[in-house]
Structure 1
Amino acid sequence: MKPFAYVRPAALQEAVAAHGGRPGASYLAGGTNLVDLMKLGVERPDTLIDLTGLLSATVEETADGGLRIGAGVRNSDLAAHRLVRTRYPVLAQAILSGASAQLRNIATTGGNLLQRTRCPYFQDLTKPCNKREPGSGCGALDGVHRDHAVLGHSPQCIATNPSDMAVALAALGAEVDIEGPRGARTVPVTAFHRLPGDHPERDTVVEPGEIVTAVRVPPGPAGVPSRYRKARDRASYAFALASVAAVLDLDGGRVRRVALAFGGLAHRPWRATATEALLLGAEPAPDAVRQAVEAGLAEARPLRDNAYKVGLASNLACEVLDTLAQEQHG
């Protein structure tokens, strides 16, 4: 591991100043992703700025009935929080489907959103990777890409985002608070992660020196059905081949509110807005649900070895939406 300087600032603005937007500086929170990448030699910071104690580790109800989740909240604590379990079960389910209990006890909300892809070509220094080394090529494109993207990818990169939590937050319409050298700003979770385009090395819209400080979830009354479903190669400790986060609220047998987001298919959680538009106000009969879900996946561009993901994601979404509808029909 490359030697590095360690800085433990006393305040958030001191941390921002210590970072200075330098390419060699990195923020450290839980470290469950960063430290692994440092061991592999993928990340080689010359300075680590420790954010421990500087980020809020509390979940607070906002005046409008939503939640403000501090970036320092541990994943285990968030999944177990009473308001999350009762108002946003899809979020608790998503968190609990990711990683191991030991990792969830350390990983933070902000770190989860900022984690980098688990693409093996990104993690292997002997393989070309435009995300790790721009201009070197994408080894996965003509290599082994069974687990890779079918939506939003480019010739430069076909990696997927590994976060389960982010998929649920996308379905819930959450926003991310960010602070940095130019002040504070807020961005939707659905716009937080970038598609690769010609710059796959830029995972998110976070600028150098900026810090994720909180996640805001809009009001969610208790009892609105929601669910997270994940397909993976083994039952635990595996990343999604495809996943679905759904919210479905019926009124008189018709869809009053619906949200659907896919994971494991793209560089970011994929909000299926076409599906939502077709279902809103309609009766969620199985055939109508299937047609709407397929419309939401119409942009898919599968590669040589991962066309199965489109059907897998479609089946997952139909099953989840049908189940949520049946629960409300009683």
Structure 2
Amino acid sequence: MFKAIKPLSNPAMGARWQGKTLQFGLIAADVVCLRYLFYADLLPQAGDEAVLLNLVELDKLFHFGDVWGWQAEYSGNKEASLTYLIQLEKRDGTKYFVIDPFARESRGAEQWGKTLGFEVDVEDLSLKVIKRPQEYFFHGIRRLPVLRPEAPTIKITSRPTAPQHSLEQSIVYECHLRGMTRSPSSAVADSAYSGTYQGLTDCIPHLKTLGVTAVELLPVFDFDENERVFSAGDNAHPLYNYWGYSTLQYFAPKQNYAADVENAVSEFKEMVDKFHAASLEIWLDVVFNHTAEF
């Protein structure tokens, strides 16, 4: 699948295509070996399994200080997406899996409140989708980064310029995307778009009547609402990490905020473009000291 694997001394972080070449970059301190494990893409359901397609093992020739980088020609099916994990081996010999923090998309969050996770078989390195237990902090693999052969197609071909309102003249409306659009009393015209990026665009006329110049969104990056689920007193209503201040991947729009979970990146871009076209800024609430550990 991969051939002509070479070190890359100044890589962009994450995974990306450069023509027919795949390039990868990661910051990993106190690590003696990196392993990239590649699997076929899947929309995960509990019990699903995927065999290991390719294993790339990197030694000291591939790291430059704390930065690891490599590139390779890809001989696989360029029409099919891949998923992947990274295994770190520390100086003391301990090994553990991490998800690429710079991934733009991932699997495992297709449905709000669905507690899925991933396990890797220690013998053949095959991947299994599991249903996670609730009511305790899950220390396993919660996401599976996706690498597409090309970026998802965005419907809007000419993107509007972002407005530049002065701070002194700004009126900022802070909201939670899901909370703003799930209620029947919200401005969302089609219930199929409740709780989605597309649904939020239906709120633009209302926001304009308020004189708002910017909408600040509580976290819309990939976070784990199932991080530690509690039950209400009657055990009928699970209590999630609703606000999302426990980010897993800062560069991946939250997948289950998309009407089409296969195109969360495109839908996020389309939402931003519609707000910009209406002369509304989009601000993202980022709190770097509130992150998930995985």
Query: What TM-score do the two structures reach when normalised by structure 2?
Result: 0.24
Name whichever structure is richer in strand by fraction. 2
Q: Which of the two has higher C-alpha Rg? A: 2
Query: What TM-score do the two structures reach when normalised by structure 1?
Result: 0.22
Name whichever structure is richer in helix by fraction. 1
